[in-house]
Amino acid sequence: MKKVLLSIMALVLCALLCLSLAGCTSEAPVDETAKVYKIGICQLMEHVALDAATDGFKQAIIDELGEAAVEFDVQNGQGDPATCSTIANQFVSNNVDLIMANATPALQSAVAATGDIPVLGTSVTEYGVALDLQDFNGTVGGNISGTSDLAPLDLQAAMITEWCPEAKNVGLLYCSKEANSQYQVDVVKAELEAKGLAVTMYPFADSNDLAQVCTTAAENSDVIYVPTDNTVAENTGIIDNICEPAKVPVIAGEEGICSGCGIATLSISYYDLGYTTGKMAVKILRDGADISTMPIEYAEKQTPKYNKQNCEALGITPLEGYIAIE
């Protein structure tokens, strides 16, 4: 009898040991119900600044949620507001969880397409101007928020006299179809006129007449200022090919433009701006933040930079405190 009991106990212990080993080697069950967020990204066009903002936005979300938790649908508007509208409407039809609109026309298209899906803008200079808001106080409300790439325009205006102290005539070159560009040059014009400089606006409609308008500006200006402007950013080669031979320096509103045709800029990091926008998206999607109460956020710092090649070509010595664009 004793031998029988010992045999039974041995079998029981063996069975328990097998169960324990099985529990150690089995994989944790996969959560088939885990939320995968669908995010539509409408980028107005491809250029250095907008590309960096999109990259920063995506990386912030991946850092917070993981790659498996999000599906990005990145679409390029090819510089055409009508194409941006088509993209935004498709995002709505696809029932995305959030839309990121990169640049003002993309934001305007997304706002027109939906009043329900959260919309975050980035690379938008002034939301009050972009969305025709009266008495804009920093919070758009509704289903809209985002980040602004507005640099301190008074300091950019001061750069013109610091870099070109002998200049008397300043040309402001910008795309007339971009409302935020008009806003920037209006502010800079007032700042420069207060310093006693003669200021002339040189608006162009699109890339087709940029060369002609830029040539006129170069012929009549001691220095040219170009704001943060998407059409300029896509066509810096045209400006550089005209202004450098004419020995007319260009002060730029952002680093990407400066690297293409300028001598100096006080610029933000568009990657960081996009990253901030991505963190806002996480707050909305994962944490349940109310987008209607989220104020527009701004770049935390601006960095003074210069274009070494253009400065050398024009015989200009970079000012102290400016960093060469890599």
d(CA 27, CA 209): 64
Average pLDDT, integer, range 79-92: 97
pLDDT bracket for residue 121 (50, 70, 90): very high
d(CA 239, CA 120): 32
pLDDT bracket for residue 198 (50, 70, 90): very high
Average pLDDT, integer, range 137-150: 96
Q: What is the pLDDT of residue 27?
A: 46
pLDDT greater than 80 at residue 77: yes
Name the more confident of 18 and 278: 278
Q: Which domains does the chain have, with CATH numbers?
A: 37-149+269-295 (3.40.50.2300), 153-267+303-324 (3.40.50.2300)
- Computed over every residue of the chain, the mean pLDDT equals 91
pLDDT greater than 70 at residue 11: no
Q: What is the pLDDT of residue 312?
A: 97
DSSP 135: T
Amino acid of residue 243: C
Helix (H) or strand (E) holding 40: strand 37-43
Average pLDDT, integer, range 76-105: 97
pLDDT greater than 60 at residue 32: no
DSSP 177: T
d(CA 80, CA 298): 26
pLDDT bracket for residue 301 (50, 70, 90): confident
pLDDT bracket for residue 33 (50, 70, 90): low
d(CA 169, CA 171): 7
> For 84, how many CA atoms within 13 A lie in the half-sphere containing its CB?
24
pLDDT greater than 70 at residue 16: no
Q: What is the pLDDT of residue 61?
A: 98
Average pLDDT, integer, range 17-22: 46
pLDDT bracket for residue 21 (50, 70, 90): very low
Lowest mean pLDDT among 18-27, 75-84, 216-225, 279-288: 18-27
Average pLDDT, integer, range 133-147: 95
User: What does the block give as tokens for 240?
Assistant: 């550089």
- Coil, strand or helix at 101: strand
pLDDT greater than 80 at residue 29: no
Lowest mean pLDDT among 7-11, 150-154, 173-177: 7-11
> For 310, how many CA atoms within 13 A lie in the half-sphere containing its CB?
30
